[in-house]
Amino acid sequence: MRQSQLFPKTKKEAPKDAESINHKLLVRAGFMDQLMAGSWTLLPMGFKVVQKINQIIREEINAVGGQEMLMPLLHPKTIWNETGRWDKADEIMYKLKDSRDKEYALSFTHEEIVMDLLRKTISSYKDLPVSIYHFSTKFRNELRAKSGILRGREFMMKDLYSAHANEVDLMEYYEKVKVAYSKIFTRLGFNFKIAKASGGVFTDKFTHEFQVLSDVGEDTIYWKEGDEEAVNEEVMEGDKAEYKSAKSIEVGNIFPLGTFYSERMRAYFTDRDGGKKPIWFGSYGIGPTRVMGTWVEVSHDDKGIIWSKQIAPYDVHLVELKSDSGEGKAEKIYDKLKQMGFDVLWDDRDVSAGEKFGDIDLIGIPVRLVVSDKTGDKIEHKERTSDKSELLSFEEVARRLQE
Ligand code: ATP
Ligand code: MG
């Protein structure tokens, strides 16, 4: 991508109302734009990052048998009445009426929609288990939407739902998803803990949250050295002084919902013994847009964002410093790297070196390549995380990128 054509340009200043780091940096660097409180456009680079996050999630969810699909966002009131959540989740739901006074909700989650599918499609234990998911928008009337993209009123979620013939099968799958989520957040490079938490409006049982340690987090978790799992403050019992604690950002949550939904929505199946039984149900969410914001909160410096290789919008940021003789070198390197399959952002703009280097640090692509008169037939290679640069041959640069 030629930076002269990249939409939009970077900004010198953060928006005045921006309070959080992710809001300031992601807007300045051109990854997202705020339409109104809690409502964000993912600009081309932001969308690339979220797609990379989604692909990591997709691979691990597919590996535990999840089948990807897509469900609607506009839901009839009637279906939410079946579980009582039309009233119970009143605060968080956006509700609307059409011109004929029919009432709808905008999706804040999809349990009822999946349960409707299951009751129409599952009749025998032979039809179970089922594991289905989608990536789609969720709408929630969040009271405080001030932490940038960490808390949107409209945001992206990957939600997986599983259906089982009995509790043992559900809990075995629940543990598998817990492992899959750990793989996802490990691949994403987070310092995270799994924390036991309450079910909120979703279930009266416990749930598990995936919490990234960060001082800007709204949650507090407690754990003892060597413990496999932490506990969210909301369900913390015992003497807090005996535990380590940290602020954290919830990036994922898994729910062993049981038969609450199937009983209310009459989603029954015929078991081996011929008896009619309610489907055992679980749901599992991750917020990819919150994940992007969380990454920026935990990985930046005073100059800008520091992306990892896994989710960076581009593999390389290439720049040529203007000179009498050196021009034209970058284009050749750009073409060769592209042919090799690397995703390159080439700053081909006619602006000062200072402006180019400023943007490179702000955008935060893992590798910076500079060519100029000074570099001769070599390329100056520098990583975003390092202060040192090295002069390397093209082959050496390509080898490093492949590592
Ligand atoms: P929170 O406690 O932060 O309000 P939640 O527990 O209500 O979140 P869940 O219903 O568990 O959220 O949603 C699953 C995942 O969706 C969360 O772990 C988070 O990654 C993401 N998420 C939830 N609410 C938002 C939001 N308002 N904006 C962006 N992502 C969100
Ligand atoms: Mg949650």
Is the preceding peptide bond at 15 cis, omega within 30 degrees of 0?
Answer: no
Token couple for 333: 């390197």
Cβ of residue 250 lying under 6 Å from some atom of ligand 1:
yes
Among candidate residues 104, 101, 97, the one with its CA nearest the CA of residue 81: 104
Token couple for 389: 């640069």
Atom of ligand 1 nearest to the CA of 209: 18
Ligand showing the shortest atom-to-Cα distance for residue 181: 1
Cβ of residue 368 lying under 6 Å from some atom of ligand 1:
no
Q: What's the gap in Å between 155 CA and the centre of ligand 2?
A: 14
Cβ of residue 253 lying under 6 Å from some atom of ligand 1:
yes
pLDDT tens for the chain, residues 1 to 403: 999 999 999 999 999 999 999 999 999 999 999 999 999 999 999 999 999 999 999 999 999 999 999 999 999 999 999 999 999 999 999 999 999 999 999 999 999 999 999 999 999 999 999 999 999 999 999 998 789 999 999 999 999 999 999 999 999 999 999 999 999 999 999 999 999 999 865 566 799 999 999 999 999 999 999 999 999 999 999 899 999 999 999 999 999 999 999 999 999 999 999 999 999 999 999 999 999 999 999 999 999 999 999 999 999 999 999 766 656 899 999 999 999 999 999 999 999 999 999 999 999 999 999 999 899 999 999 999 999 999 999 999 999 999 9
**Residues 6 or more apart whose Cβ sits within 8 Å of residue 227:** none
Cβ of residue 285 lying under 6 Å from some atom of ligand 1:
yes
Give pLDDT, residue 324.
63
**Residues 6 or more apart whose Cβ sits within 8 Å of residue 184:** 56, 57, 60, 252, 286
**Residues 6 or more apart whose Cβ sits within 8 Å of residue 295:** 188, 189, 190, 307, 308, 311
Cβ of residue 293 lying under 6 Å from some atom of ligand 1:
no
Q: Which CATH number fits domain 316-402: 3.50.50.60, 3.30.830.10, 1.10.12.10, 3.40.50.800?
A: 3.40.50.800
Atom of ligand 1 nearest to the CA of 249: 3
Give pLDDT, residue 205.
77
Among candidate residues 109, 75, 145, the one with its CA nearest the CA of residue 290: 145
Contact 232, 202 (CB under 8 A): no
Q: What's the gap in Å between 314 CA and the centre of ligand 1?
A: 28
Give pLDDT, residue 160.
99
Ligand showing the shortest atom-to-Cα distance for residue 192: 1
What class is the 3-298 domain?
alpha beta
The residue extents of the domains of the chain are 3-298, 316-402
Give pLDDT, residue 199.
80
Residue 329: its H or E element: helix 329-339
Atom of ligand 1 nearest to the CA of 152: 28
Ligand 1, atom 16: closest residue by C-alpha: 287
Cβ of residue 289 lying under 6 Å from some atom of ligand 1:
yes
Alpha-carbon distance of 281 to 22, in angstroms, equals 35
Q: What's the gap in Å between 403 CA and the centre of ligand 1?
A: 35
Among 234, 250, 255, residue to substitute to test ligand 1 (most atoms within 8 Å of Cβ): 250
Indicate yes or no: pTM above 0.95: yes
**Burial of 244 from C-beta contacts in 10 A (0-12 / 13-18 / 19+):** exposed
**Residue whose token pair is 């605060």:** 91
| Alpha-carbon distances, residue 270 vs 130, 163, 214, 282, 367 (angstroms) | 15, 14, 47, 19, 58
Q: What's the gap in Å between 250 CA and the centre of ligand 2?
A: 7
